[in-house]
Amino acid sequence: MKIYSWNMLFRNRELDRAFQFISETDFDIFCLQEVPEEFLKRLQTLSCFIAFRTERELLYKKGLLHNYIVILSKHIITSDGEIPHPDYLSLLPLRTRLFMQFMPFELFARVRDRRSLCVDIAVHGVSMQVFNLHLILARPAWRLKEFEAAMTKHDTSRPIIVCGDFNILESPKISILNWLLSGHMSDALLWTRERNRIEKYFATHGLTNPLHGKNTHPLSRSQLDHILVSHSFSIKNAEVLTDRIGSDHRLIRVEVA
């Protein structure tokens, strides 16, 4: 199975090239985050199965902007469901509110109604689960809780694939954001702590992170993007693609047997 995951960036200006890449790629599963509404309509024309949900609503002065979270599959999607995420606005400290106020609005708009996506697919008669997650860019403890909340939907009797943007900041050059975005100062100073903790979570759920240590986001110099697979899968290849096709995230790809 060939699995792709990509946060394509909701304000991506290379949508034609992005669509060409997806439509010409030989994939079994392709998970997308931050999909613009106009691009979702194009994805629905592809000859594959598709599941999607509204990922979040961005509140602008001119109105609402909807992003979508999408799973494309060459195999039958037998059911799909959503994973709602909490609204943390009332819990944000003053420093975070001030930071968001003075940053460009397109970077830190007010967000509401966040959710992730999970589906059941049938691959050669075997039922498995696929999760597509976009965890909060805020306090690291909240990200861990969101991951754990998603894993409560894991049927441990079946293989599982977990894709998505986990927003784990693990470079000293960017980890100050963990504090600015409502975390503790120790979240900024101990920049490897969250990675160490969540890798233990992965192991607890029987998941392998084939791209551990890879940089999937040039600005943060961190592995924000993940494709996790059950230990029952054999990893044949795992790579980070260099062409970002208009996004701030690199595409990632894992091939399993």
The full set of domains in the chain, from first to last, is 2-256 (3.60.10.10)
pTM of the model: 0.95
Length of the chain: 257
3-state class of 37 per DSSP? helix
Residue type for position 199: E
Per-residue pLDDT of the chain (257 residues; tens, 9 = 90+): 999 999 999 999 999 999 999 999 999 999 999 999 999 999 999 999 999 999 998 876 677 788 999 999 999 999 999 999 999 988 999 999 888 877 765 556 678 889 999 999 999 899 999 999 999 999 999 999 999 999 999 999 999 999 999 999 999 999 999 999 999 999 999 999 999 999 999 999 999 999 999 999 999 999 999 999 999 999 999 999 999 999 999 999 999 99
What tokens were used for 143? 């990200």
Give residue-wise pLDDT tens across range 124-179: 899 999 999 999 999 999 999 999 999 999 999 999 999 999 999 999 999 999 99
